[in-house]
Amino acid sequence: MEIKTNAIVLKSIDYKDNDKLLTLFSPTLGKITAGIRGVKKPKAKLAFAAQPFCFSEYVLAEKAGRYTVVGAYMHESFYALRTDVERFYAACAAAETCDRILVENEEWEGTFVSFIECLKTLSFTESDPAEALVSFFLSALHESGYPIDLGYLEECDGEIGERLYFDFADGKFSSQERCVQGERASVCTYHILRKCAGLDFDETALSGGRKRALRLLKAYLTQKTETNFENLGEFIRLYEETP
């Protein structure tokens, strides 16, 4: 049986002499593994379909729950990501997160849309890559059942003060008095997260917040998934070196 689905390559690993195994993310099929044959041969027609971030309509042959790519029609290669190492690792961090949080063969349409929008922003705009990545993380965490609660500003009537704490158990910001199992978090981190979530924020309180927000999100993702995020760590390193 053949199936057609739009999908994007999250990961590609070598398999046998000339084949690869792809981790594909489809809005309808979710995360799936599919073999693709002969793509390491010179002039292989489907070589493009095994490249990271390739967004195509894939034709899949399905047998006993296993998929093989037999055709592909490209929508977008996101080739521009390969020309900027910082943005490339930001995209790798987003793909890595999809791979970690998605459950195989379950529909994740909201996360798929957020992922595509993140790659578009990284590829085709000059927007800050950290903000694009933070926006994606907030959406992905919400979809996966680990939302970050950013409502403290409304709860305290806009009077945050100088101290904030983040509760890793509940994914919520609060004052020291309210915090149960939290760690110190900067006010600038909180406002960057609100900005990337499309909420009201204090423009004067953003300095240094992007780097801190990335580190907090990495710690939160690591705790919730019990896995490490190597690509996110590399992006943070590169971003912190940017003047």
Tell me the per-residue pLDDT of 114-153, one tens digit each, with 9 for 90 and over: 999 999 999 999 999 999 999 999 999 999 999 999 998 8
pLDDT category at 178 given cuts 50, 70, 90 is: low
- Determine the pLDDT at residue 154: 84
How many Å apart are CA 208 and CA 198, to the nearest integer?
19
Among 25-29, 98-102, 161-165, 210-214, the least confident range: 161-165
Question: Percentage of residues in the chain with pLDDT exceeding 70?
Answer: 97
Q: How far is CA 226 from CA 100, 136, 219, 221, 222, in A?
A: 10, 20, 10, 8, 5
Average pLDDT, the chain: 92
By the 8 A CB rule, do 215 and 166 touch? no
pLDDT category at 185 given cuts 50, 70, 90 is: confident
Higher pLDDT, 155 or 34: 34
Average pLDDT on 207-218 reads 93
- Determine the pLDDT at residue 64: 83
- Determine the pLDDT at residue 157: 76
How many Å apart are CA 218 and CA 239, to the nearest integer?
14
Is the pLDDT at 205 greater than 80, yes or no? yes
- Determine the pLDDT at residue 162: 76
Three-class secondary structure assignment of the chain: CEEEEEEEEEEEEEECCCEEEEEEEECCCEEEEEEECCCCCCCCCCHHHHCCCCEEEEEEEEECCEEEEEEEEEEECCHHHHHCHHHHHHHHHHHHHHHHHCCECCCCHHHHHHHHHHHHHHHHCCCCHHHHHHHHHHHHHHHCCCCCECCHHHHCCCCCCCCEEEECCCCEEECCCCCCCEEEECHHHHHHHHHHCCCCCCHHHCCCHHHHHHHHHHHHHHHHHCCCCHHHHHHHHHHHHCC
pLDDT category at 176 given cuts 50, 70, 90 is: low
Is the pLDDT at 113 greater than 90, yes or no? yes
pLDDT category at 55 given cuts 50, 70, 90 is: very high
Among 24-28, 80-84, 103-107, 221-225, the least confident range: 103-107
Tell me the per-residue pLDDT of 214-235, one tens digit each, with 9 for 90 and over: 999 999 999 999 999 999 999 9
- Determine the pLDDT at residue 181: 63
> Which positions ≥6 away from 4 have C-beta within 8 Å?
57, 58, 59, 60
> Which positions ≥6 away from 80 have C-beta within 8 Å?
87, 123, 124
- Partners of residue 19 on adjacent β-strands: 15
Token readout for 94 is 């987003």
